[in-house]
Structure 1
C-alpha cells in the first residue's frame, strides 16, 4: 500500500489515503481512521468517505482517459450513507461503469475493513477534457 505519487501535499495525502490497486477498470484504496478524520459528534466525518471514494474514482478516470484527452473534471456525484464508524480502517473499491470518449461514470463502495459493513455507496460522472 502506498500513497499515489500525484497526491503529495494535497488533500488525499493529508487524509492518509493509501492505494493497493489503480487501473482503468478498478481502483482499491483505504485509510486508517485517526482523530483528524472525526466529526465533532465523535463519528467518522462523512466528507472523509466522499474524499476516499471521489479520489479513487478520479485516479481510475485518469488511468482510463482516451487518447488525446488532457484531463477530466467531476460534473456530478452522489453518495448514500448507510453506516458510521469510530475506529479501524475504511476501504473503498471503485469500478468503471462507463468509459466513453466524452464522459466516464464510476461507482464506489466504501466499507469498514474490520466488520465488512458497507458505509457508503457512491457514483460520480466525469467529463473528459481535450486541448482546445
Structure 2
C-alpha cells in the first residue's frame, strides 16, 4: 500500500505493527481521516502478518471479512496499527487490529478474517 504511505515498523511471533501518515491525502470531506484509509491500514497489516506465517510459494491469504469501529477522529499526524493473532488454522486466520494516534488514544478497532488458499501450480 505504498500509495497510502503504510510502513511496517515492528514484527513478532504473533503480531505486526504498521503506521500511516494522516493528512489531506487520506482525509474525507470534513478534513478528518477517511474510514476507508483506516480499513485499508487494518487489512494491510493483518494480511501482511498472515503472509509472514505462510510459505507464499504454496499459499496466500485473502480477506474474508473486515469489521471496523471508528472511535475517534484524527486530523493529522501518524496512526499506528497493531495486528494481533487470535487464531491460525489450516484454512483461516483471524486477527484483531487496534489503531492508535500519536497520543496513544485508540481511534479504531478492527477484526479481519482471512482464508488461506493453496496456489495453483
TM-score, normalised with respect to structure 2: 0.91
CA distance in 2, matches of 1:78, 1:18: 22
Indicate if the aligned counterparts of 1:19 and 1:29 stay in contact, CA closer than 8 A. yes
User: 1:131–1:42: structure 2 CA closer, same or farther, 3 Å change rule?
Assistant: closer
How many residue pairs match? The answer is: 120
Shift of 1:24: 4.9
User: 1:131–1:88: structure 2 CA closer, same or farther, 3 Å change rule?
Assistant: closer
Q: Paired residue for 1:21, among 10, 15, 22?
A: 10
Superposition map of 1:53-92 within 5 A:
53-65=42-54, 69-92=58-81
Structure 1 residue ranges without an equivalent (≥5): 1-11
CA distance in 1, matches of 2:62, 2:109: 20
Indicate if the aligned counterparts of 2:23 and 2:75 stay in contact, CA closer than 8 A. no
Structure 2 residue ranges without an equivalent (≥5): none
Quote the RMSD (CA, aligned, Å): 1.7
TM-score, normalised with respect to structure 1: 0.84
Q: What is residue 106 of structure 2 aligned with on the other side?
A: 118
Q: What is residue 86 of structure 2 aligned with on the other side?
A: 97
